[in-house]
Structure 1
Amino acid sequence: MPDTMICRVFLLLAASLLLQGCVESQPTMLGASISGVNHTSAAINHFSVNGGGGPNIGPYGGGPGSQMCCAMLPVQWREGLTVVVEWEKDPSPHDYANWSEPLFSDAWSERMKGHQSKYTRHRAVVQVAPYKQLGLVTVHFLPCDQVKVSASPTYEGLSGHPYNFPRRMEVPSTCPTP
């Protein structure tokens, strides 16, 4: 009887060791700062990358000077790496500058509620551009509610940055369908 028990224990140990070889190892993840570049005339009121918050960005604004923390990404890029980007957009960020109501009055607050009702919310699953070394996560907000994401140690406008779009981009007459 004891030999049978030893055999069973040995077989269980051998099977568990074999199964460990089938388990995919998890990549090493790090928190990377988040920045955004807005290439549009709308304002980005707030955005997030995989739940990590990014700064608000005015029309045609942003860049590495305004960063927030953090998006969790693997230290090493892998094929098919994606992130979830969520954002809120104000399509008419300069409208309230011309209002005649006294700032923060009841009439102004009521008008602001109407303005805020035109905000739009978006969500996109976006491929991350290949990187050799994890760096600043940069979200590029493009016309037609398109976004591109990089996570390299180079900044927008520098050589080696995967996306160097013009800072001011106009909305085309027709937007591509998702």
Structure 2
Amino acid sequence: MKITWVRWLLGVFVLVLVLVGCSTADNEMAGGNIQAVNHTLSNINWLSVNGYRADGGGGRSCCIIMPTKWRPGLKANIEWELDPEPHAKLPSVTSIEFRDAYAKHSANYRRYAAVVDIPEWPGTESCDLKVHFFTCNQVEVTTSCWAPSSPNYPIRVPMGMKEPSVCPK
């Protein structure tokens, strides 16, 4: 049986209508910012969440795409680079010695990865994704609309924490 191009096109059109008809609001996605909240004395050079890269300096970075409605099983695959000596003295950028000193310093950068659950957010709006970095290379995320300084913020851990001599397993 020979299928004409009109029938083929009609079949594709019906298939697209069926697929669009199966789409629901639960599958809608929206863009938001990523924010690093560093509770340690080290520096977070950069981070990425599910492949979306961001600055580790604490400000908001654009963008991450997330569902508009939370659903069970949402995960954040987080990767980051840590500078354990953020206040190291380096020669002036214009000096000849800078390149060698920087190469030696950056050789101490460490990279880590973790997969964490994204907690439920109420309603249909999340307020960006905030990634908290703790000692012992632990991370946690929240989509809370409250500022980290608010008493209503869900993560209440002090800033500037020293790395313990032994980390729990």
Match of 1:83 among 56, 59, 76: 76
Q: 1:143 and 1:104 mapped to 2: Cα distance?
A: 34
Q: 1:78 and 1:174 mapped to 2: Cα distance?
A: 36
How far 1:123 sits from its partner (Å)? Answer: 1.2
* Other structure's SS at 1:95 match: coil
Alpha-carbon displacement from aligned partner over 1:135-161 (angstroms, at most 9, x marks no partner):
121010100111111112222122432
Asked whether the 8 Å contact 1:140–1:147 carries over to 2, the reply is yes
**CA shift in 2, pair 1:169/1:105, >3 Å:** same
TM-score if structure 1 supplies the norm length? 0.74
Q: Which runs of 5+ in 1 are unaligned?
A: 1-15
Match of 2:88 among 75, 95, 120: 95
Q: 2:151 and 2:157 mapped to 1: Cα distance?
A: 12
How far 1:78 sits from its partner (Å)? Answer: 2.0
**CA shift in 2, pair 1:104/1:56, >3 Å:** farther
Residue 128 (structure 2) aligns with = 136
Asked whether the 8 Å contact 1:33–1:68 carries over to 2, the reply is yes
* Other structure's SS at 1:110 match: helix
Match of 1:122 among 105, 112, 116: 112
- Tell me how large the CA RMSD over aligned residues is: 2.2
Asked whether the 8 Å contact 1:50–1:72 carries over to 2, the reply is no
Q: 2:162 and 2:92 mapped to 1: Cα distance?
A: 33
Residue 51 (structure 2) aligns with = 51
* Other structure's SS at 1:69 match: strand
Asked whether the 8 Å contact 1:89–1:119 carries over to 2, the reply is yes
TM-score if structure 2 supplies the norm length? 0.77
Give 4+ residue runs of structure 1 displaced > 4 Å after superposition: 23-26
1:35 and 2:35 are equivalent in the alignment:
yes
Q: Percent identity?
A: 34
Residue 5 (structure 2) aligns with = none
Q: 1:103 and 1:135 mapped to 2: Cα distance?
A: 39
Asked whether the 8 Å contact 1:35–1:67 carries over to 2, the reply is yes
Q: 1:118 and 1:173 mapped to 2: Cα distance?
A: 18
**CA shift in 2, pair 1:24/1:174, >3 Å:** farther
Q: 1:89 and 1:108 mapped to 2: Cα distance?
A: 20
Residue 175 (structure 1) aligns with = 167
Alpha-carbon displacement from aligned partner over 1:76-128 (angstroms, at most 9, x marks no partner):
222221111111110001112xx4x4433222210110111110011111111
Q: 1:161 and 1:50 mapped to 2: Cα distance?
A: 24
Q: 1:139 and 1:150 mapped to 2: Cα distance?
A: 7
